[in-house]
Amino acid sequence: MTTPLPFDTRAAFQQQLGEVLARARATLIMFDPDFAQFRLGARDVDAALRRFLHAGGHLRMVLHDPAHLEREAPRFLRLLRDYAHGVECRRTPRTLRELTDSFCIADDQHIVRRFHSDHLRGEAVFDAPQQTELSRLRFDAIWAESQPGLQTSVTGL
């Protein structure tokens, strides 16, 4: 069994997230209330996601509120437009807005998760499909209840 790598700082979370993104080949699934800590508009994260999507990867993400990304991540919005065929974004209904965990899973093998989105304490686990299973099932349930929700422009075009 792979040992979880704990973290409790922004830098350590960013490092582990970067490692999960770098290892992704086919699928990335992500859940976070607003993705503010994910730095989706940062140059290095954008480059990693573009490499992944350009190679045929598929990204699915769910959030509660897209305001942060719409306001602070123009690079990410361009990525959504450029790779619309490989990215699906959904927004949770009000009934799920109390969910506060945060995670990113690559290829059902690698995961970085924060136990509560208001805090940076969490863990990363690599090459451990059994460690991703519960979060993957949770994501699938959240996805099923969510609706399309992040537009690439104000007009939705």
Q: Is residue 4, in this structure, part of any structural domain at all?
A: no
CATH code of the domain in which 51 resides? 3.30.870.10
DSSP characters for the chain?
-PPPEEE-SHHHHHHHHHHHHHH-SSEEEEE-SS-GGGTTTSHHHHHHHHHHHHTT-EEEEEES--HHHHHH-HHHHHHHHHTTTTEEEEE--GGGTT---EEEEETTTEEEEESSTTS--EEEE-S-HHHHHHHHHHHHHHHHH-EE---SSTT--
> Scanning the structure block, which residue is given the tokens 């994910």?
38
What separation in angstroms does the CA of 31 have from each of 17, 91, 106? 13, 10, 12
Confidence of residue 157 (pLDDT cuts 50, 70, 90): very low
In the chain, the number of structural domains is 1
Of 50-59, 71-80, 113-122, 147-156, least confident by mean pLDDT is 147-156
Kindly report the backbone phi and psi dihedral angles of residue 15, in degrees, each rounded to the nearest multiple of 5, phi listed first.
Answer: -65, -45
* pLDDT attached to residue 151: 61
Q: Is residue 86, in this structure, part of any structural domain at all?
A: yes
Q: Is residue 7, in this structure, part of any structural domain at all?
A: no
Summarize the confidence of residues 5-25 as an average pLDDT.
97
Looking at the DSSP bridge assignments, the partners of residue 29 are 60, 105
- pLDDT tens per residue, range 84-129: 999 999 999 999 999 999 999 999 999 999 999 989 999 999 999 9
* pLDDT attached to residue 154: 43
Q: Is residue 91, in this structure, part of any structural domain at all?
A: yes
Question: How far apart (Å, rounded) are the C-alpha atoms in residues 80 and 150?
Answer: 9
Summarize the confidence of residues 46-73 as an average pLDDT.
96
Q: Is residue 45, in this structure, part of any structural domain at all?
A: yes
- pLDDT tens per residue, range 21-58: 999 999 999 999 999 999 999 999 999 999 999 999 99
- Which residues form the domain of 90? 12-148
Question: How far apart (Å, rounded) are the C-alpha atoms in residues 58 and 106?
Answer: 10
Q: Is residue 1, in this structure, part of any structural domain at all?
A: no
Question: How far apart (Å, rounded) are the C-alpha atoms in residues 65 and 22?
Answer: 26
Looking at the DSSP bridge assignments, the partners of residue 100 are none
Q: Is residue 5, in this structure, part of any structural domain at all?
A: no
Q: Is residue 156, in this structure, part of any structural domain at all?
A: no
> Scanning the structure block, which residue is given the tokens 């537009």?
151
